[in-house]
Structure formats: C-alpha cells, structure tokens
Amino acid sequence: MENSIRARVRAGDAAAFGLVFEDHAQAVYRHAVRMTGDWAVAEDVVSLTFLEAWRLRARVDPEGESLRPWLLGIAGNVIRNTRRAARRHQRALAKLPPREAMPDFAGDLAGRIADAEELAAAKAALERLRPAEREVFALCVWEGLDHAAVAEALGRPVGTIRSRLSRARARLRELTAKELAASRSARSGSGAQRPGAGGQVAGDRDLAVRPYKETTR
C-alpha cells in the first residue's frame, strides 16, 4: 500500500498526496512546535513543508515504507530557513524607531498558559543543544523514529545519528541537573513560587528529556 502511495505521489497524483497530508500533517506539526516553540510558526512550517514536498515529489522513491521521515527532513529544512528569515526580520526591525506601547491581551490566553509553560521549559533546555543534536533528539525521542528513519530524514549515516543522539541525551541530563539546582536555589532565597505565577517550579526541565511516542498510522 505504501509503495502504491509513493508511486502515485511521484506521478503527481493529487488525491494520493492528499492522503499523505492526512496521515502525516499532525506529525509534521508536532515536530515544528517542538523545534520552534511557536504554534503559529508551526502552522506555517506545515504549509511550507507540504508545498515543498509537492514540488519535490519526483524525488520520491517509489519503493519504501512511510513517507514520514522524508517529510520531517523537509520540515527541518523549512524550520532552518524560517529561523534565518526571522533573524533578518529582527535585524530590520531593530533599525526602526520604537513603536507606541500596545495593551497587554495576555489574559485572553489563560486557557493555554499551562501548555505554554511546559513548551517553554522544554524549548529552553533544547535550545542549549547544538542544532544538529537538537534535531536528532526531537526526531528520535519525541517523534519515535528509529535511527535508520532519522538517517533517511536528515541524509546522514546511521552511525552519525547514534552518536548525536547519545551526546544530546548526555547534555540534556547535565542541563536538567543544573536547571533544577538553580531553581531550588532561587526558591530557597526568595520563597517558593506557586505554579502559574510566572515562576518555574522544580521538575519543569524534566519535560526536555521525557520520551514522547505516539502510534502513527
């Protein structure tokens, strides 16, 4: 069945490509959210990923298993391009005169505070990894891809993927211990902060190393 879908996508079958979107759009979105820390940016990444996948459809191997690794590899390239564009945008904005302060509408987002805090905690730890190690960690641990699939997605040897994942795990353990120690030290000096009051509570950084596996179609 997967081979049939691959062959149809390669041939430009829009209906087959629609099935691929239905099967894998959520996986691409999850990966983008974790790598960017921004829901809106992640939605853009999904759109750009599938546009690029359609443009590159002739490169799809008609033989093989799931197209998810291929799509996640494209998503990684889109995220890198998006970050470069964001940096250029920020440099351009820095040259403009300051704008008038706008009202704070943060209260409207109260229902998403808990998710945002968890996402921010995980992203903060991952951001301190080297980009290549962070990407391998996200694909292996959060997306649940095996080494061979990640190697396919990133165009790297399996041995390189194994070594990068090992370094990423070790570094995240080190960072988690440091973050927890700093958090406990801050609380002992200024008093414990209640969750949701703007402070970080012990255990937030554990999210960065928590495996996330979801059964895929």
Model confidence over 144-158: pLDDT tens digits? Answer: 888 898 888 888 899
Q: What letter represents residue 99's amino acid?
A: R
pTM for this model (two decimals): 0.54
Q: Dihedral (C-alpha) 46, 76, 167, 162: value to the nearest 10 degrees?
A: 100
The closest alpha carbon to 214, from 166, 131, 142, 122, belongs to 142
Say what the pLDDT of residue 70 is. Answer: 94
Average pLDDT over residues 119-138: 75
Q: Which of 59-73, 98-112, 123-137 has the highest mean pLDDT?
A: 59-73
Say what the pLDDT of residue 131 is. Answer: 83
Say what the pLDDT of residue 178 is. Answer: 67
Computed over every residue of the chain, the mean pLDDT equals 75
Residue 198, pLDDT above cutoff 60: no
Question: Which has the minimum average pLDDT: 13-27, 30-44, 85-99, 161-175?
Answer: 85-99
Signed CA dihedral, 50, 53, 55, 61: sign only: negative
Residue 30: other Cβ atoms inside 10 A: 18
Residue 197, pLDDT above cutoff 60: no
Average pLDDT over residues 80-109: 62
**CA dist., res. 136 & res. 142, Å (int):** 10
Q: Which residue has the higher pLDDT, 37 or 193?
A: 37
